[in-house]
Amino acid sequence: MPTAIASTLPLVTAPIPPGAPPAQYLYPSTANTDPAIHLPIYSKEAATIAKIYTDGQKYNGVSNSFNFKLTIFYNICKRAGLPPKGYITAFLTMLKGLA
């Protein structure tokens, strides 16, 4: 009798995991073959900048002078070895809260 019950139950299989993402998502450098579009990422320098910054050095948008905080940002970027064309990579690091 147990075999009759087991044969009437639907066969349940494990869900099939989705396939691996295309190579352009795993390796961004393979997504585009135009060498003019490949830009350096500066992730090492951005991480160094994030470690150097303290909350007191960040711009909060309320009671700080943006120009003063921007000067601090430029100095920290220079100490971390980030060239000016990479400033956009680390710019958000200088902001605090809703700024």
Q: Please give the average per-residue pLDDT across 23-49, as a whole number.
A: 69
Q: How confident is the model at residue 98 (pLDDT cuts 50, 70, 90)?
A: confident
pLDDT at 16: 53
Among 51, 50, 93, 89, CA closest to 70: 93
DSSP per position, 77-97 = HHHHT--GGGHHHHGGGGB-T
Spatial distance between the Cα atoms of 86 and 12, rounded to a whole number of angstroms: 53
For residue 86, the 8-state DSSP code is G
- Does position 1 have pLDDT exceeding 70, yes or no? no
**Tell me, what amino acid is at 55?**
D
pLDDT at 40: 77
Spatial distance between the Cα atoms of 70 and 38, rounded to a whole number of angstroms: 27
- Does position 53 have pLDDT exceeding 90, yes or no? yes
For residue 94, what are the contacts with CB-CB under 8 A and spacing of at least 6? 53, 57, 58, 59, 69, 70, 72, 73
- Does position 91 have pLDDT exceeding 60, yes or no? yes
Percent of the chain with pLDDT over 70: 61
